[in-house]
Amino acid sequence: MRPRTFTKTGTGTTAWIPLDHRQDPFNVGLGCVILSGTATYNVEHTFDDIQNPAVTPTAFVNSGINAMTTNKDGNYAFPVRAIRLNVTAGTSPVVAMTVLQGVR
């Protein structure tokens, strides 16, 4: 996967970002940067099939990137199906998340 950057302006979530959960090793790195304003944000993941419209994905908060108010990086060493950025509060927040999954 090429590095992809997803930006959220205001509060709320980005769309789910699908990952290759079958890849071995899984290896996903990510970094979140507050581009402007102030922000509180989380990174969330799901084990559900986001491609199935009959499924409402259950979001789990990444324990290492929870209620962040500064720039933060992290990773997923074990498979999840998708991740997203959730900006929960702030004053004119703009937050970018860059995601990179290694290839075999």
Mean per-residue pLDDT for 14-39?
95
**Tokens at 35, concatenated:** 């581009």
pLDDT of residue 104 exceeding 70 = no
Considering the chain, what percentage of its residues have pLDDT values greater than 70? 98
- Candidates 91, 93, 82; CA nearest to 43 is 82
By DSSP bridging, strand 28-46 and strand 72-76 are antiparallel
pLDDT of residue 30 exceeding 80 = yes
pLDDT of residue 102 exceeding 90 = no
- Residue 18's pLDDT is 96
Angle at 61 between CA 59 and CA 64, to 5 degrees: 155
Say how far apart CA 46 and CA 76 lie, in whole Å. Answer: 12
Domain 4-101 has CATH 2.60.120.1090: yes
Mean per-residue pLDDT for 72-83?
96
pTM above 0.75, yes or no: yes
